[in-house]
Amino acid sequence: MAENLNLFTSTQDVIQDALNKLGYDEGMFELLKEPLRMLEVRIPIKMDDGKVKVYTGYRAQHNDAVGPTKGGVRFHPEVSEDEMKALSMWMTLKCGIVDLPYGGAKGGIICDPRQMSMNEIEKLSRGYVRAISQFVGPTKDIPAPDVFTNSQIMAWMMDEYSRMDEFNSPGFITGKPIVLGGSQGRERATAQGVTICVEEAAKKRGIEMKGARIVIQGFGNAGSFLAKFMSDAGAKVIGISDAYGALHDPEGLDIDYLLDRRDSFGTVTTLFENTISNQELLELDCDILVPAAIENQITAENAHKIKASIVVEAANGPTTSEATK
């Protein structure tokens, strides 16, 4: 049987398995297998060259039984309706596991912000908020940053929502700059949580953090802070990657040097000549592997080539269900 790489259907499988084990009937699965609301929007933008380009955006709201839905907005060329549905379901599960009064949501726009000017990204951010404005708000659905979005984009979105609402609405969005009511420590929070998991797993395996060889796939918000935390703890970060490739040094990379030179999209490998592929990075001989990029990176095809003693997931669904087995 071919491996299922569709994150949406594999997420449905995970939910069905869990509900069966917990003794719920088919009705509960019917309720949770799809988002309550799925919005597709069209966003016309006047580009810098004067031409109008129309972008497609999505917002999935999976379940609001315990409170407003909550979830990131990603700007990426591979955003799809199925991906948004799946990620909104993961958000419901994550909030539920730690008992937060939120349901799951996810949004995205099919675009490549790396090929766009700041002016075009601002117009797109504001256009997206105008398109989804009837469905979002502090008591309905709260967006946040995700892949290729940051606090600046959240600031534009908040400003646009506040202009439409004719009222300052900092509660509409999280991940905004501190000066606009953002939270201290928000940017490093994901990596801080992953660090705790890495340290606990290492203890169980009897691995000393000092000198441990760590590979981190992804150098965005989670990956870059994690690399810094690991490096500060005395571990050797021997590999990191971004969307363009990966860097490897068995003696340990100079993380401060890389952090200093990466751009706002977490890209740094383009500055180097001796890069390796993301696939080669995952298969490096190391103690701890952290996939911190996008979904479906460890598959049935490459799982047996993973040499890490511990895999700690920092991305959403980076390991397929076949690979997990």
More confident residue, 301 or 35: 35
State the chain's mean pLDDT as an integer: 91
* Three-state secondary-structure class, residue 218: coil
Identify the three-state secondary structure at position 77.
Answer: coil
pTM of structure: 0.85
* 10, 57, 124, 235 from 54: Cα distances, Å: 31, 10, 10, 46
Report residue 3's pLDDT band, with 50, 70 and 90 as the boundaries: low
Q: What is the pLDDT of residue 272?
A: 87
The beta strand positions in 192-302, using DSSP E, are 213-217, 236-242, 245-248, 288-291
- Could you report the per-residue pLDDT of 73-89, keeping only the tens digit for each? 999 999 999 999 999 99
Active site residues: 106
Give the closest residue to 316 by CA, choosing from 186, 225, 190, 175: 190
Identify the CA nearest to 240 among candidates 232, 252, 248, 231: 248
Average pLDDT over residues 176-194: 90
The beta-strand segments (E) located in the chain are: 37-46, 52-61, 69-76, 103-110, 141-145, 213-217, 236-242, 245-248, 288-291, 310-311
Is pLDDT larger for residue 266 or for residue 274? 274
- The model's pLDDT over 243-258, given as tens digits with 9 standing for 90+, comes to 889 999 999 899 999 9
Which pLDDT value is given to residue 168? 79
Report the alpha-carbon distance of residue 132 to residue 135 in Å, rounded. 6
Residue 33 pLDDT class (50, 70, 90 cuts): very high
